[in-house]
Amino acid sequence: MKKFALLLLALLLIFPMSTMALEVKQDTDESETLFGNGEITHGGYGAVELKLTQLQGEMGLLIGGRGGWIINNSFSIGGGGYGLVTSQKINNYPTYYDDSSAYLRVGWGGLFVEYINSSNKLIHFTVNTLIGAGGASYTRSYHDGMNNWNNDGWMYESTPFFVVEPGATIDLNVAKFFRISLGASYRFVSGVELSKSTNKDFSGPSANLAFKFGKF
């Protein structure tokens, strides 16, 4: 009876130890992954964005928007697009009209990818990049253009171009569905072929303000 009691006691001690060893082995066999071992979360957002930047040697304002699919509160992938809304005059441009000036119209858009750091924090930062294409043209004045959409002489010349625009933002969580994003970016443009504009005229820094709505 004494031997049986000792044997039972030994088994009771060995069983928990062997179970713990098995659990440790299982834990060490699990591989680390980019999105963790749990369930992947999804969200999405849309934003209205303002860009203040220099084009053709003058400050200009662009208005546009962007949006994306958010993965694990850390990454988003989507698209964005922007268009110039201020009047940019190209002086001393040879025209067939009384006004010897042309007016710049420009816009661009493309794929927008973003890394979001500590999305749940009240104030956090993001790092992002837009990769895409755009177009620019010289036209008659905005007033003339509105009244001459079918006039072949309304646009003097135009060009497509390629754009890469990396940037960073500071985001403020105003509400669960609303964030304000303030940031800066730098635009690299290539492929511009206009008589009075170069790649350098369309490249440069930008100050950006966005109002983001969605499920974060």
pLDDT by residue for the chain (216 residues), tens digit each?
444 344 433 433 443 444 444 444 444 445 555 555 568 899 999 999 999 999 999 999 999 999 999 999 999 999 999 999 998 998 888 876 666 688 999 999 999 999 999 999 999 999 999 999 999 999 987 655 444 444 556 889 999 999 999 999 999 999 999 999 999 999 999 999 999 999 999 999 999 999 999 999
The reported pTM is 0.77
In CATH, what is the architecture of 41-215? Answer: Beta Barrel (2.40)
- Residue pair 107/81 in contact (Cβ under 8 Å)? The answer is yes
Tokens 């959409």 belong to 149
- Separation of alpha carbons 125 and 145, rounded Å: 41
- Residue pair 160/137 in contact (Cβ under 8 Å)? The answer is no
Quote the pLDDT of residue 126.
Answer: 98
Exposure string of 149-180, with b = 16+ CB inside 10 Å and e = fewer, is: eeeeebebeebebbbebebebebebeeeeebe
- Residue pair 76/90 in contact (Cβ under 8 Å)? The answer is no
Give me the residue spans of the domains in the chain. Answer: 1-30, 41-215
Distance of CA 209 to the CA centre of its chain: 12
User: Which of 65, 70, 110 is CA-nearest to residue 210?
Assistant: 65
Amino acid found at 108:
W
Distance of CA 15 to the CA centre of its chain: 55
Quote the pLDDT of residue 39.
Answer: 82
- Separation of alpha carbons 185 and 127, rounded Å: 10
Contacts of 169 (CB under 8 A, 6+ apart): 125, 126, 128, 181, 182, 183, 184, 208, 210
User: Which of 140, 137, 147 is CA-nearest to residue 96?
Assistant: 140
Instruction: State the number of CA atoms in the 13 A half-sphere of 164 facing the CB.
Output: 2
Quote the pLDDT of residue 15.
Answer: 39
Q: How far is CA 54 from CA 26, 57, 88, 189, 207, in A?
A: 58, 6, 10, 13, 10
